């Protein structure tokens, strides 16, 4: 047996068993992904009570939003609103992520039963709160639950993201092996001297579903052809799924080849010995400094400023992260900036909460090659660009991945049954894993 034959046999086994391991997960991930491609629209439609407000004359300011954040925190001293997302539309609510506050008596976090809170940016009214991913059929949390299923299944967040990030990496490997298996085998020279068909003509068989094929052969054609036509998207979503869930390992790998800085995964400094619960620089001062630093950086680096996006405080680092939309953002089909809450797709400035020092700027594009590439991957994955056409395309892609995974399972099941003694199908080849004929 030649080395090429051994490698092909090994590749078939890797593709078959790794695909079998991934198939059930991919059916769930792709199925939920086809729904949450329209996440913002679904949230606004089915969870309007917390997501949509009536615009008021005069608008709101960053100071107003920070005052509301302070008020919400005071309403429940057990809570620490560590991430405030500024509304990008006049009818959007003010959204904040929540973690337990530190009990000053015990030094331990309080017990708290929610991790997201919503408020009216004009009046400060508390509109509602929830646990992201809580299993529910109520409209206020249904699509949050589906979103959580997509990136963490039903597992605790840390374990879920570890699993899903690992699956993304495995999916990327599976996609590359599957692509290799569609390539036609090397043709031996014919004894008659007849010239063999070209590589392109032989490979073209893999891209088609044979008109007269039935049973397992037709299933193989569907599986192989759909995998080839979808291959670029399969790889994009696999790699971006890895990056979104395991940002640290992703950052470590990418930074080996290109310049890449991600404040969430590689902060400007190491964690403090003790969390800085009451920093000398408060939220109001941090927002003021953030806007000032952005004006300085925009002038120095030649970009223009848009709306403020968010402000976060990491008490384990003693750092504020202030984000704004800029001319370096990726834009959607309507020319609007991408989502508001990702340091990978908005410009972010790091500020020392102890003395207000500027500690760094991270731009989504045009600053570092690794960040530009990652911003595109992230934005494509979360349908932040391309508008409605791309949302529809991603939703359809999710359904096609469900089909691809399902046909892979059926091919394995048929092959498994064919190997059983006395099976009627044992005498008919399944065709699974075979290369197109020359």
Quick one: which of 148, 155, 143, 150 has its CA closest to 29? 150
Q: What global pTM score does this model have? A: 0.85
8-state DSSP, 101: P
Domain limits, the chain: 3-36+155-186+196-240+390-427, 48-140, 266-367
What is the per-residue pLDDT for 333? 53
Q: What DSSP designation does 361 have?
A: E
What is the rounded CA–CA span in Å between residue 346 and residue 304? Answer: 13
**Which residue(s) pair with 130 in the sheet?**
116
Task: Report the pLDDT value the prediction gives residue 19, as an integer from 0 to 100.
Answer: 84
Gap between the Cα atoms of 337 and 324, Å rounded: 10
Smallest CA-to-CA distance from 96 within 130, 122, 144 is with 130
Nearest CA to 70 among 105, 107, 96, 104? 96
CA dihedral (57, 58, 64, 68) in degrees, to 10, reads -10
Copy the structure tokens of residue 55. 């615009």
Identify the burial level of 322 via C-beta atoms within 10 angstroms of its C-beta, where 0-12 means exposed, 13-18 middle and 19 or more buried.
Answer: buried
Q: What is the pLDDT along the chain (438 residues), one digit of tens a residue?
A: 677 788 888 888 888 888 888 888 999 999 999 999 999 999 999 999 999 999 999 899 999 999 999 999 999 999 999 999 999 899 999 999 999 999 988 889 999 999 999 999 999 999 999 998 888 888 888 999 999 999 888 888 889 889 999 999 999 999 999 899 888 887 776 666 677 788 888 898 889 888 776 777 777 888 888 888 989 999 999 999 999 889 889 988 999 999 998 887 788 889 999 999 999 999 999 999 999 999 999 999 999 999 999 999 999 999 999 999 999 988 655 556 555 445 456 899 999 999 999 999 999 999 999 999 999 998 899 888 888 899 999 999 999 999 888 888 887 777 777 766 665 544 444 444 444 433
Give the C-alpha separation, 411 to 414, whole Å: 5
pLDDT on residue 193: 66
pLDDT of residue 320: 97
Q: Cβ contacts of residue 34 below 8 Å, gap of 6+?
A: 394, 395, 396, 397, 398, 399, 402
Residue 199 neighbours by CB distance under 10 Å? 12
215 and 235 Cβ atoms separated by less than 8 Å:
no
Structure tokens that stand for 392 in this block: 């529809």
At 168 the three-state DSSP class reads helix
| C-alpha dist (Å) from residue 94 to 118, 370, 373 | 6, 31, 30
What pLDDT, on a 0 to 100 scale, did the predictor assign at position 44?
A: 93
SS3 at position 149: helix
């Amino acid at each position: 047996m030649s080395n090429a034959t051994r490698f092909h046999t090994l590749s078939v086994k890797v593709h078959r068993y790794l695909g079998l391991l991934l198939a059930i997960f991919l059916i769930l991930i792709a199925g939920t992904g086809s729904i949450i491609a329209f996440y913002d629209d679904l949230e606004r439609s089915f969870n309007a009570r917390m997501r949509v407000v009536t615009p008021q004359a005069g608008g709101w300011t960053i100071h107003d939003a920070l005052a509301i954040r302070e008020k919400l925190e005071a309403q429940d001293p057990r809570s620490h609103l560590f991430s405030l997302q500024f509304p990008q539309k006049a009818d959007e609510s003010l959204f904040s992520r929540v973690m337990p506050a530190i009990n000053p008596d015990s030094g331990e976090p309080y017990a708290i039963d929610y991790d997201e809170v919503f408020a009216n940016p004009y009046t400060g009214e508390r509109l509602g709160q929830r646990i992201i991913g809580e299993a529910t059929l109520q409209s206020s949390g249904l699509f949050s639950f589906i979103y959580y299923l997509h990136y963490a299944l039903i597992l605790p967040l840390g374990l879920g993201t570890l699993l899903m990030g690992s699956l993304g990496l495995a999916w990327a490997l599976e996609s590359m092996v599957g692509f290799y298996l569609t390539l036609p085998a090397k043709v031996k020279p014919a004894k008659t001297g007849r010239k063999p068909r070209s590589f392109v003509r032989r490979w073209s068989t893999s891209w088609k579903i044979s008109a007269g094929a039935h049973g397992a052969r037709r299933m193989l054609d569907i599986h192989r052809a759909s995998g080839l036509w979808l291959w670029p998207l399969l790889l994009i979503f696999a790699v971006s799924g890895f990056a979104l869930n395991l940002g640290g390992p992703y950052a470590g790998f990418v930074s080996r080849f290109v310049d890449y800085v991600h404040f969430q995964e590689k902060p400007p400094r190491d964690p403090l010995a003790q969390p800085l619960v009451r920093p000398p620089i408060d939220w109001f001062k941090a927002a003021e400094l953030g806007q000032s630093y952005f004006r300085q950086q925009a002038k120095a680096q030649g970009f223009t400023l848009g709306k403020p996006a968010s402000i976060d405080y990491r008490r384990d680092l003693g750092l504020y992260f202030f984000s704004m939309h800029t001319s370096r953002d990726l834009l959607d089909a309507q020319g609007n900036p991408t989502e508001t809450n990702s340091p990978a797709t908005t410009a972010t400035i790091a500020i020392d909460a102890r003395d207000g020092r500027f500690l760094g700027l991270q731009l989504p594009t045009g600053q570092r090659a690794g960040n530009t590439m990652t911003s595109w991957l992230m934005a494509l994955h979360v349908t932040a660009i391309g508008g409605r056409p791309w949302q529809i395309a991603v939703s359809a892609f999710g359904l096609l991945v469900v089909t691809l995974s399902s046909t892979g399972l059926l091919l394995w099941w048929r092959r498994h049954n064919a190997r059983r003694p006395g099976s009627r199908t044992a005498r008919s080849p399944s065709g699974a894993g075979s290369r197109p004929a020359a």
